[in-house]
Amino acid sequence: MLPSFRRLTLAEQVAQMIVVRASGHLFDQQIRYPRWEAPTATLRRWIEQVGIGGVIMLGGSAAELALRTQQMQAWASVPLLVAADVEEGVGQRFAGGTWFPPPMALQAVYGRSPDKALQLAEQMGRAIAQEALAVGLNWVLAPVVDVNNNANNPVINVRAFGDTPAVVSKLAAAFLRGTQPHPVLTCAKHFPGHGDTATDSHLTLPLVAHSAQRLDAVELVPFRRAIAAGVDSVMTAHLLVSAWDTEHPATLSRRCLTDELRQNLGFDGLVVTDALVMGAIAQQYSPTESALRAVEAGADILLMPAEPEPVIQSLCDAVQAGRIEESRIEASLERIWRAKQRVQSPPLSPSSAYPHGTSHAWEQMAPPPVDAATLTTHLAQPQAIATATTLLQESMTVRVSSPLLQSRALDSSKQTVILVDDLLSCAFLGHEAPAIARPAAFGYRLHLADQQSPVTCDPQPTLLQLFIRGNPFRASSGLIRLAQDWVRSLHAASHLEAVVIYGSPYVLEALQPLVSADIPLIFSYGQMHQAQAIALDQLFTPAPYPLPTSGDFGF
């Protein structure tokens, strides 16, 4: 029997190559990004009538997401690929799941204990796979295998496992080992390597001017290791890699995707583009032209085209006109079908995989039901929380000779200044956040600031808390300069009591020379409540566990 995708019309086959973005919220009025997330009626039509192949999710709680994914699968005649960027765990995107510190925290642990770091990476991968399945995700868009050797990188930064190809390769492979017992797809990104750029590809096209020899020795090393470790998919980078192609971004370059990734690296899994709405592509190409060029280059899945239906039509027209061979579409569909069969949960046993003489029983399988018991027994379980806690503790840097306060005596003469990049979009603060609640319990007044706030130093001892990491769409360089101004101003007035940095070691590296050795200084890779609590334990109560210290912070 022919593979069942050949029973689909050409338009239905092409639609299987499209992955659109959807909100995890259940109601249209909750949609946060209407530019990219269609209302329910449109989304349903795309799935039910157009037959798109998958969705990438963002927003909502884990419980909402579980209901949303089941709803979408019920609409689909062919089971969907349901993806999310959960590089730091389901809790990073969907409240209720476990939120791990960013992958670069593992490099800090690796420097002191390689075996422990590899164990934590594997546990992290296992927990993310388990929690993803519990909420209906079957495609984890991780691990990031970019080698972040550029401290000014605004888009990769701490999302990488490290700044050397050897460390990134080992940690990414360990992460993949953790995921592989579970029917969930993984994704190595962003090929051929987005780590050595200072330009945000969400906004414009970065240039990677390294030689082919340098690419082979640095950028490609983790991709080779991930492919050898069995990664299911590879995501392209919107970069101009001049050693390979001086005209086309990697996402649209046959040299990059077919010659290098397919042939030279021997990868036969899914090749998925990064989001086609990103500025690096959308500024130079129309939605239909970027999709056509990506397929010609060798992409199997088009992620977030701005206009899915015109893209499908243009691809069909290109096949009928002879610009794209029909066999090219069939090759992608074969890979998509293999991937979709792989992620059925529970996986089909060998004896049940081929009922009635066909290997496509998965196409008729209903999604598993969602219930409260499944969520409460699979999300934020003690082992996952313990892994996140250990990783936060072991990667933290502490320079504290003694706690600031060890009693509940209130001291209203002090304040805490909290600096973030954007107060309106800050998900990790609130009245209950330890960064706010812990100092408040000791009488500290609260001063919130972001990039729009001037440096205003009240004449009182100040605990300065800085939440800064690389963020797509908004570079952190301006915020780092503002943080430096805060440190200098408070230091000059002798009001700087302590500094806590949450997020990026590159920020610590920039600020540490400005903070005198007698002032307590703490750095945590995490920004979530758990990270805040662990960091502030060092200032306000005796630490319940020993923490690694470093006089020069190891940078």
Query: Which residue numbers are catalytic?
Result: 202, 274
Report which of 391, 301, 384 is spatially closest to residue 129, judged by C-alpha positions.
Answer: 384
Here the tokens at position 252 are: 């649209």
Query: CB of 543 within 8 A of CB of 402?
Result: no
The CA distance from 416 to 430, in Å, is: 14
The CA distance from 385 to 382, in Å, is: 5
Residue 50 has phi, psi (to 5 degrees) of -75, -35
Here the tokens at position 404 are: 């600031």
Q: Please give the angle made by the CA atoms of 160, 188 and 176, to the nearest 5 degrees.
A: 90
Query: CB of 501 within 8 A of CB of 463?
Result: no
Here the tokens at position 240 are: 């101009």
> What are the residues facing 500 on neighbouring strands?
465, 522
Query: CB of 493 within 8 A of CB of 486?
Result: no
The CA distance from 251 to 258, in Å, is: 11
Q: Please give the angle made by the CA atoms of 424, 100 and 73, to the nearest 5 degrees.
A: 80
Query: CB of 456 within 8 A of CB of 419?
Result: no
The CA distance from 189 to 186, in Å, is: 10
Length of the chain measured in residues: 555
3-state secondary structure labels for all residues of 182-228: CCCECEEEEECCCCCCCCCCCCCCCEECCCHHHHHHHHCHHHHHHHH
Burial class (CB in 10 A: 0-12, 13-18, 19+), 314: buried
Consecutive H or E run containing 172: helix 165-179
The CA distance from 172 to 187, in Å, is: 11
DSSP state of 363: G
Residue with tokens 């430096």: 484
The CA distance from 74 to 365, in Å, is: 10
The CA distance from 440 to 528, in Å, is: 18
Which amino acid is it at 336?
Answer: I
Alpha-carbon torsion angle 147, 149, 153, 156, nearest 10: 20
The CA distance from 209 to 50, in Å, is: 41
